[in-house]
Amino acid sequence: MNASPLCSLATVSARGRAHINHMYFAWDDAFNVYWISDRDSLHSRNLVKNSSAAITIYASKQVWGKPDRGIQLFGTAGVAKGGEAAREYGRRFRDFDASENDLPYYRFRPRLVKLFDERSLAPGTLVTARVTSDGLVWSKTEVWA
């Protein structure tokens, strides 16, 4: 997940329309993702009405035809409570000063992850795992190459 400081967050409007947003993010060992955003942004307003969300993270400098890797996460998101989000965000972005931040923190809680890492797995291989309190639990492996 440290391949990029940016991720893409997909949310759904009250009318069922998809929206995507790029944002800086931090994460913890349980694959929770944290970010800062204005409450009036479209993705933040969407999460108030529908907490369903998905995130994708990948290195944007990957080259077509070379081994790729990335992760997709599926779950729910909303305003974070407590100081964990600020700690994780500050740990990832050393220049971040939580005392200067007046925007709310958000937390994404994954229920499912899909990982592709062609260097470690094999070309065209996608591994799906459930996120549990004990960690990741393999669900299935797909090969499309």
**Domain assignment of residue 58, given as a range:** 6-111
The number of distinct structural domains making up the chain is: 1
Does residue 68 fall inside a structural domain? Answer: yes
User: In angstroms, how far apart are the furthest CA atoms of the chain?
Assistant: 49
| End-to-end CA gap in the chain | 24
Q: Which residue has the tokens 């070309």?
A: 123
Does residue 125 fall inside a structural domain? Answer: no
Does residue 139 fall inside a structural domain? Answer: no
The CATH number for 17's domain is 2.30.110.10
pLDDT (tens digit, 0 to 9) for every residue of the chain, 145 residues total?
888 999 999 999 989 999 999 999 999 999 999 999 999 999 999 999 999 999 999 988 888 888 889 999 999 999 998 899 999 999 999 999 999 999 999 999 999 999 999 999 998 999 999 999 999 999 999 998 6
